[in-house]
Structure 1
Amino acid sequence: MLTRMIRADLRRSRAVSITLLAIVTLAAALAAMSAGLIVRTTTAIDHLWDTSKPPHAVQMHAGEADPAAIDAWVQTRPAIEDHHVMRTVKVPPQSLTIAGVNQGESALEPAFVTSPQRFDLLLDSHGNPAAPGPGEIVLPVHYRAIGAADIGDVVAVQLDGSRRELRVVDFARDVQMNPSMVTSKRFVVHPDDFAALDAQLEEVEYLIEFRLHDPSAAKAELDAYRAAGLPASGVAVDHTIFRLMNALSTLLLAGVALLVAGLLVVVAGLALRLAILAALENDLPELATLKAIGARPKAIRRLYVVKYAAIAAAGALLGYALSFPILSAVSEPVLLYLGQPALTLWDILVPILAAAAVGAMVVLLCLATLRRLSRISATQALRTGAAGQLKPRRHRLVLSRNRWLPTQAWLGLKEAMRPANALLVGVVATATFLVLLPLNAVTTLADPGFSSYLGVGQADVLIDTQDDPALFEQVRAGVAADPDVTRSTGLATRRLDVLTPDGEWESLLVESGDHTMFPLHYSQGYAPAAPGEIAFSHNQAAALKAGLGDRVTLKSTDGGAAHWHSVSVDLAEGVDAKAKADALAAAYPGAKALSVAEASNEAIGATLTQLRLVSGLSAAVAFALVFLVTALFAVLVVSREADQIATQRAIGARASGLVGQYLIRFVAVGVFGVLIGVVLAQTLGQLLTAGAVGLLGAPGLVVLVDPLLSWLAVPALLIVAVVAATLLALGRIPTITVLDPG
């Protein structure tokens, strides 16, 4: 009996049931995909960590070093489990060609190494330590990800009239330098090729790496290393930075996808509530009859619960099945960097639980909505009759007072202001937010001004002269006299020690020069402009417990010599930054000139590509939701108001006029929802984005919005979806007559 009634109800409301099924399927698919992506990404990072055995502390040093002195010092440090002194030889990008493309315009900084054996392993595509033979090379996987190289391509080094060619045989995953945001890249070659290149290349850098018994002691060991006067002319980092950088470029995608899934579940819940309330209104006469003959409210509720539970279960199953191809497409660029981990029970169980959770939430929402059923008496339901309204309408606007609008337009706008439309407004607003949140993240990362949050002033060209003071002065004088250059400034980076609140000295890189010409973004304060002033990064200020106006003590340990220099340049209107950077690099051999926009795009390009993928996915889901929910809403409204439509047709209203009335009604509701969503994206979205980036050490981020996309293109497309769904649902209006209003 129950089964027959449910089947009959599903057939009677086929369009509503199919629409609800589609919404629940979308929500379950995205929830399962997001959960699966987080599990896969986390598992892949852990597997990469366990397999590659990253160092817990690394001190970089430009120039020659004595490994024997470092070995002797290590013998006095019981906290160090193992250590490795890796010699790397840097190749000038203009002397390097990959797959026939010269790398002179690349922002990446390649260096040749041999494959480590004990830890900090550079893993090939099979998860084994890279082991190229003579004449072979293993490139970082980043080059495959950006399509710059493939297996079999040739890497050529042109030096002093000689040319050495190496064949690409694999791509390495490097736990230190994997992320696209890290510009340093290690090329693995055979020891014989390394020896030959080492004899030709002049720029040497050492990575002095330590594995510790207690990884939390990394900072103390690095401080002790520098205090011992050992080679330390570069930056020092610990394992937490490696994990953060890997997570930032991979879990970002999963986090945004999970947020989209959460918003989608909210939309599914709103749509379900709308459907249940409309069904209750339509079924009031039948409910009255059942109550009048003594049917218990619990039994009546069970009819609805079983129906929507069936839809929820089917949607959860379909969504789980649909999540697999989506997960495969979305995870591919992530796992290319991290490696494909072995399938675990969690990879299967967590997505199932996520999809099941969506189904359970649908059922719980159904139960919560159906509570009002017990509050309706048989007498009230019978008195309400075929009108089927749980609450009487309040007509505050009277047609006779209308003097400005056509009747059908006035009726449409009047109905658009009904409180019952709040659910559709909420769905459209949420969907708009769903599109704009990841889209604004994409436009922020792609904006040239974003570099000011990364420690690079918003100049057109950046010229790096490394640790060559003479070249630095030559470049600075040359660009100052260049007619293509409107302004320029030089900066020098030195290593100083700062006194911490604990009374210990900690190494610190300090960039000096005119910081007012190409200012960075300051969450507090301003650019240092006078002697005795200094600005810290957010994380450094927190570590030193330094606030605005506080005094800190600095000292020099190596005479204050600059470790590297750079010149920032702004160009005249119409001068191409990339072409000018190439010209400057050719004019000053030994200097590296880069377009800041090109370098920024290269550094975050892979992350931006992944975020664009999520943005596109969320936009597709949001547009589908707006279409489905608007169609559902319109179908339910037309069904509920069939008597009114029939009456209006009987007194002479044309079908086209009635269609126009409902179209105006739903478009007005859609416009209102879109406006709310846009405002939320620019306010709440700003707070969410700034908060997330602040946790990573860059507070105060201002979302850089593209007004054309956010205020025009996206709202227009969403309104088009509302119009299309409404017209589809209104197709039955011409068939409604007094004789057959249903």
Structure 2
Amino acid sequence: MKWLLVKNDFKRNKLINLALFMFIMFSSVLAILSVIVASQTMISISELYKKAEPAHFLQMHKGDINESEIDTFMSEHELVTYWQTVTMLTVYGESLTIISEETYNLSDSRLDIGLVKQNETKDLLLNANHEKVTLQKGEIGMPILLKDMYGMEIGDHVQLSSQGVSKEFIITEFILDSMMNSPMASSTRILLSDDDFEALSNQVGEREYLIEAYFHDANEASDFQTAYENSGLPQNGQAITYTIIFILSALTDITTVFMLLLVSILLIIVSFICVKFTLMATLEEELTEIGTMKAIGIQFSDIRNLYLYKYRFIATTAIMTGYFAALHLSTIFTKHISATFGDQGMYTITILISITAGLLVFVFTNYYCSKLLKKLKKLSVVTALLHGEGLDKKKRKTKSGLSKSKVLPVNWLVSIRDVYQERRNWSMMFVVVLIAVLLILIPVNLMNTLKEPRLITYMGSSLEDILIEVENGENLENDAADVKLLVKNDTNLKSYQEYRRVRVQTSDAEGEKMNLHIDYGEKAGSGLQYVSGKAPETENEIAISYLNAEKIGKTTGDNIVLFTNGKEQPFLISGVYQDVTSGGYTAKATHNFSTLQPVKVTFSTHLKEGIDPEKKASEWSEILGAGVSVNSMSQFIDQTLGGVVHQLQTIVLAITLIGASLVMLVTGLYLKLRLAKDRSAIAVLKAIGFSEQDIKKQYMIKIGTVSLAGILTGTILTEVLDEPIINVGLSIAGLGIKNVELFTNPVITYLICPFCLLLLTLFITKRSMRSIQNYHIMKMIKE
């Protein structure tokens, strides 16, 4: 009997049941996809790290080193369980030419490129199968990062030309680098055979060392970093910890998971709204049959199960279909994971977790339907058969006052009055359109933000045209002087600022000594995004990064003591800003720390109107040569966040299509139910003189009014909710960014999206109104 009920219901209400099936399927697909991507990301990184064993603490250093001093320090430090010093030959993009179908060099890459040989046991460079890569003479292993950027292929030739030396290699492997697999890492490594590396080690490039330490617990890296930096050991370069390496590796896929999870939650809400509406509409239409079943003694539980069986059947088939669709689609969304961390296939635990996610969607749907059907328990036989009150006992007649209006035309008057009086029923359309707007605009706004140059102000740098960084050990002062002379004499330059980074000591929240990296200069800290306070203005003020504020346990207005040259120097914290550079642990001051040796010098430049920053950056880079990094801001953002943006564009396109389909399906579903319920009312309207065109116009007005209200409310809510939602995700990520102001595109937000959604609802409304020509008063009387 249950199967016959479902079969007959499907024949009678094909569109309604199909729409319900689609909503539950879409929501399960996205819920399962988000779980698959999250699981594959975390497990893939963990599996790669298990084989590759990246350093828990890494100190990069340019210049000479004394390995015996490093070995002595490491062997005596209680936290260190293993250490190694890796030699890397730093070359520049213009020194590497790729010979394939097209010949090109890597001169436009902002990444520092290092030539290395394979390590023995830790920090290994692996292939896609997580196997240690061993190369023969003449072979080269290129990082996946560069493969993605330039489209290299196995068999392409690489011509190295540097310092008068020229050598050609053939690409035989694309390597997985557990420590430098993100553009935000600023460096990447190319693998050579041991023979080729030894032959080139004294002929090309500049020696750079990776000083790596390992501990029992990776979380001990922060304590070790302070001890290392205070030891006087080599540290002319970036220091980075295991936690930051992990976050930067997973950033692109974390963004994907976040978006999929957000959209799946919104779709599940829509599914529940549709389930409620269709279930209640079905019960209202079959109230007499329900009353009859109660009258002949059928129990509530049996009646409930008759209806529940149908929704269980729809939910089961939809979730199963959604599960297999999610498995198929997962290859698209996990493509970046497979490329970056190795294609290990679907992990068993991922399959189990994804099945659990599908079961949870089913449980929630089943529970929600059961809860709705409880209304039948309170329904009496007399109410169902005689009074015709229906299931909603709270219905009251409402007076809108519109009947007295002398301004609105009749069709508008009838339409708006109907929407007002039955606003609870029309709320379904309103909420679904609202959610569709949120579903589309929040991801679009996030994508626009990641492409916006002003995002640099959340990354520890003011918005200038070109950023020049000097990190070159013994030659730092000479290189900084060359940069200063170049920019001062360039007639295309409007202004520039020089900032010097020094390292001083302070105390953290527990009273332990810690290092503070301070960039000082006349306008240090200006133009950044502050969580609280402002940039330092006087000599005794200092601004600290958000992560430093948490570590030190201080905020704007508090005093902080710095230890410089053995003396205590008090400063007032003028503000807390957001930063992702140097692991997010930096500070800014106008105070002149001229007695301290700088570890880095940065020039922030602003060009005159009409000068191309990218061309000027390329020109300066050629003049300044090795040891000086010159990047236009747009190039920096594109190469740093380009992978995230590319992945997000695919997701946004899919979400936009889902949002549009959602609006079309709900509009068609709602109208079919509404027209079925309004058959008598439509017949009456026809009998008293309203034409079919009038009735169609009325429904167009009703749908248009409700949709427009949903669109406007959704747009307003997007402005209110998108930033808190995104900022929660950023805070959890721990990147050093707490609060981002999203950059919206007014044309998309306020014009294209509202217009397209309104057009879709009106189009579907017009297509769905054909059936009213069969609604006649005599036919209704006969029925």
Distance 1:324 1:46 in 2: 22
Give the fraction of aligned pairs with identical amino acids, expressed as a percent: 26
2:592 equivalent to 1:569? no
Distance 2:526 2:402 in 1: 62
Map of 2:727 onto structure 1: 690
Distance 2:565 2:235 in 1: 13
Map of 1:539 onto structure 2: 547
Map of 2:132 onto structure 1: 129
What is the aligned-residue RMSD (CA, Å)?
2.4
2:403 equivalent to 1:375? no
2:444 equivalent to 1:439? yes
Flag the 1:701–1:398 CA change in 2: closer, same or farther, 3 A: closer
Moved more, 495-504 or 524-533: 495-504
Flag the 1:287–1:391 CA change in 2: closer, same or farther, 3 A: farther
* Superposed counterparts of 1:686-725, under 5 Å: 686-695=723-732, 696=734, 697-725=736-764
Distance 2:230 2:630 in 1: 35
Q: Deviations over 1:222-247 (max 9, x none)?
A: 33334433222233322122122223
Map of 1:265 onto structure 2: 268
Map of 1:456 onto structure 2: 461
Map of 2:23 onto structure 1: 23
On the 8 A contact 2:162/2:205 being kept in 1, the answer is no
Distance 2:456 2:619 in 1: 23
Flag the 1:14–1:740 CA change in 2: closer, same or farther, 3 A: farther
Distance 1:116 1:29 in 2: 42
2:562 equivalent to 1:553? yes
2:536 to 528, 538, 546: 528
SS for the counterpart of 1:281 is: helix
Q: Deviations over 1:220-275 (max 9, x none)?
A: 33333344332222333221221222232322212321221122111100111011
Distance 1:556 1:663 in 2: 78
2:643 equivalent to 1:606? yes
* Superposed counterparts of 1:583-622, under 5 Å: 583-590=619-626, 591-622=628-659
Flag the 1:88–1:559 CA change in 2: closer, same or farther, 3 A: farther
Q: Deviations over 1:378-399 (max 9, x none)?
A: 3223345599976646242366
Q: Could you tell me how far 1:111 is from its partner in structure 2?
A: 1.1
Distance 1:536 1:176 in 2: 27
Flag the 1:17–1:601 CA change in 2: closer, same or farther, 3 A: same
Map of 2:589 onto structure 1: none
On the 8 A contact 2:144/2:181 being kept in 1, the answer is yes
On the 8 A contact 1:459/1:570 being kept in 2, the answer is yes
2:640 equivalent to 1:631? no
Distance 1:72 1:387 in 2: 85
Structure 2: gaps spanning 5 or more residues:
567-593
On the 8 A contact 1:497/1:556 being kept in 2, the answer is no
Map of 2:93 onto structure 1: 93
Q: Deviations over 1:420-445 (max 9, x none)?
A: 21222122212211112222211111
On the 8 A contact 1:47/1:341 being kept in 2, the answer is no
2:776 to 716, 719, 737: 737
Distance 1:723 1:15 in 2: 18
Distance 1:101 1:496 in 2: 44
Distance 2:534 2:683 in 1: 69
Distance 1:538 1:517 in 2: 13
Q: Could you tell me how far 1:208 is from its partner in structure 2?
A: 0.8
Moved more, 493-502 or 541-550: 493-502
Flag the 1:92–1:36 CA change in 2: closer, same or farther, 3 A: closer
Distance 1:559 1:92 in 2: 33
Map of 1:233 onto structure 2: 236
On the 8 A contact 2:379/2:391 being kept in 1, the answer is no
Distance 1:219 1:552 in 2: 20
* Superposed counterparts of 1:219-618, under 5 Å: 219-385=222-388, 392=395, 394-397=397-400, 400-417=403-420, 418-467=423-472, 468-515=476-523, 519-549=527-557, 550-555=559-564, 560-590=596-626, 591-618=628-655
What amino acid maps onto 2:468 in structure 1?
Answer: I
2:766 equivalent to 1:727? yes
* Number of corresponding residues: 742
On the 8 A contact 2:533/2:556 being kept in 1, the answer is yes
Q: Could you tell me how far 1:69 is from its partner in structure 2?
A: 2.5
SS for the counterpart of 1:452 is: helix
Distance 1:471 1:231 in 2: 19
TM-score (norm: length of structure 2) = 0.90
Higher relative contact order (CA 8 A, sep 6+): 1
What amino acid maps onto 2:687 in structure 1?
Answer: A
1:663 to 697, 700, 706: 700
Q: Deviations over 1:549-593 (max 9, x none)?
A: 312213259962222322211122222221221222234334432
Flag the 1:298–1:504 CA change in 2: closer, same or farther, 3 A: closer
Q: Could you tell me how far 1:405 is from its partner in structure 2?
A: 2.5
Distance 2:98 2:759 in 1: 47
Distance 2:189 2:631 in 1: 20
Moved more, 243-252 or 267-276: 243-252
SS for the counterpart of 2:543 is: coil
TM-score (norm: length of structure 1) = 0.95
What amino acid maps onto 1:482 in structure 2?
Answer: D
2:120 equivalent to 1:112? no
On the 8 A contact 2:266/2:435 being kept in 1, the answer is yes
On the 8 A contact 2:383/2:390 being kept in 1, the answer is no
SS for the counterpart of 1:462 is: strand
What amino acid maps onto 1:420 in structure 2?
Answer: N
SS for the counterpart of 1:105 is: coil
Q: Could you tell me how far 1:214 is from its partner in structure 2?
A: 3.7
On the 8 A contact 1:388/1:640 being kept in 2, the answer is no
Q: Could you tell me how far 1:13 is from its partner in structure 2?
A: 1.8
On the 8 A contact 1:425/1:673 being kept in 2, the answer is yes
Moved more, 145-154 or 317-326: 145-154
Q: Could you tell me how far 1:453 is from its partner in structure 2?
A: 0.8
Distance 1:669 1:452 in 2: 40
Distance 2:150 2:679 in 1: 59
* Superposed counterparts of 1:58-77, under 5 Å: 58-77=58-77
Distance 2:491 2:512 in 1: 49
Flag the 1:226–1:291 CA change in 2: closer, same or farther, 3 A: closer
Q: Deviations over 1:326-368 (max 9, x none)?
A: 1111111222111123543322222222122222222211111
On the 8 A contact 1:498/1:555 being kept in 2, the answer is no
SS for the counterpart of 2:318 is: helix
Q: Could you tell me how far 1:186 is from its partner in structure 2?
A: 0.9
SS for the counterpart of 1:702 is: coil
On the 8 A contact 1:315/1:359 being kept in 2, the answer is no
Flag the 1:502–1:191 CA change in 2: closer, same or farther, 3 A: same
What amino acid maps onto 2:554 in structure 1?
Answer: A
SS for the counterpart of 1:173 is: strand
Distance 2:31 2:507 in 1: 49
What amino acid maps onto 1:513 in structure 2?
Answer: G
What amino acid maps onto 1:43 in structure 2?
Answer: I
What amino acid maps onto 1:579 in structure 2?
Answer: K
SS for the counterpart of 2:119 is: coil
SS for the counterpart of 2:779 is: coil
Distance 1:43 1:307 in 2: 38
Q: Could you tell me how far 1:120 is from its partner in structure 2?
A: 0.9
